[in-house]
Structure 1
Amino acid sequence: MGTEIERKFLVPDGGRVPDGPESEIRQGYLVIGPEGAEARVRRQDEEYSLTVKRGAGLARGEWETPLSAEQFAALWPATEPARIAKTRRSVPLGPHVAAVDTYHGRLAGLRTAEVEFTDPEAAAAFTPPPWFGPEVTDRPDLRNQRLATASAPPRP
């Protein structure tokens, strides 16, 4: 089992985000279960994956495997109507990278930043840059699996 250790923040609308490479992401959820369990497929540019996650909060179980374009296309219809579309900008932050997501469609106007860590101590020691907004790591309504079925962005 892999473990994802991640903190998530809102990014204020209209605030300047530093430059970094961007990619387009389309992801859909095959299963959204209790206690943070999920199975999703993702297309990020021309890479495809199947990811299973379990748990909530700072540290979660995570298993990811690559898919072919054909496998992704076969699974994609099963994700209707639990999908999100976003542009991800990768912004270097010293030893870390912020994945800044700008959501599209019904979630337009929502921007978040996620930072992954190697261990809980590194996560606790992290000081967010001034362009980050409030931390939302523990807000279930801002988890991607919940956003995939939301009719509009949650309120800050």
Structure 2
Amino acid sequence: MPSEIERKFLVTADTWRDGSPGVRISQGYLSQDPERTVRVRIGGKNAWLTIKGQTQGITRAEYEYAIPVAEARELLEMCLPSVIDKTRHKVPHADHIWEIDVFHGANEGLIVAEVELADASISPILPPWVGAEVSDDSRYFNSCLAAEPFTTW
């Protein structure tokens, strides 16, 4: 079973910025059941449909499929209660590529760094621009941010 092992941190400084524009992402949820989410995402000129299982620690099942962008746009119209708008930057640090999401719209002001790991026992070297770990705080799951945006906390 394909899985995602991911740790998530709040970003506390802008020293990660290198001037690159990143990739603007729109993503919405067709299902937000805690045991399974179904997400549609458009990033740049590509689109995906992703099914994720329930989180067990920092691991969960993940199935992802490329889909036509036109179909993704139609599916985003079905997503409730809202669509996430963010810019993703990929930043290398030590032996990992960190994905930094700068949120816009209803989640403006939130910046989160995620690192995917090959094994849950791996402890990556943390960059100086990350702060508190929020891997276990469901408020920071994108599916939860679609339902309860950061600006409403």
TM-score, normalised by the number of residues in structure 2: 0.91
Runs of 4+ in 1 over 3 A off after TM superposition: 151-155
The yes-or-no answer on 1:34 pairing with 2:47 is no
Shift in alpha-carbon separation, 1:117–1:151, aligned structure 2, 3 A? closer
- Following superposition, the deviation at residue 119 of structure 1 comes to 1.1
- Following superposition, the deviation at residue 55 of structure 1 comes to 1.6
- Following superposition, the deviation at residue 149 of structure 1 comes to 1.3
Q: CA-to-partner distance for each residue in 1:45-74, whole Å, 9 max, x for gaps?
A: 110000000122311100000000222122
- Following superposition, the deviation at residue 7 of structure 1 comes to 0.3
CA contact under 8 A between 2:5 and 2:116: conserved in structure 1?
Answer: yes
Count of paired positions: 151
Give ranges in structure 1 of 5+ residues lacking alignment: none
Shift in alpha-carbon separation, 1:22–1:151, aligned structure 2, 3 A? closer
Give ranges in structure 2 of 5+ residues lacking alignment: none
Percentage of pairs with the same residue:
38
For residues 2 and 11 of structure 1, the distance between their equivalents in structure 2, rounded to whole angstroms, comes to 28
The equivalences for 1:1-156 within 5 A come to: 1-12=1-12, 15-19=14-18, 22-35=22-35, 37-56=36-55, 57-122=57-122, 125-153=123-151
- Following superposition, the deviation at residue 154 of structure 1 comes to 7.0
CA contact under 8 A between 2:29 and 2:40: conserved in structure 1?
Answer: yes
CA contact under 8 A between 1:147 and 1:153: conserved in structure 2?
Answer: no
- Following superposition, the deviation at residue 93 of structure 1 comes to 1.3
For residues 39 and 9 of structure 2, the distance between their equivalents in structure 1, rounded to whole angstroms, comes to 22
For residues 117 and 101 of structure 2, the distance between their equivalents in structure 1, rounded to whole angstroms, comes to 18
Letter of the 2:103 counterpart: Y
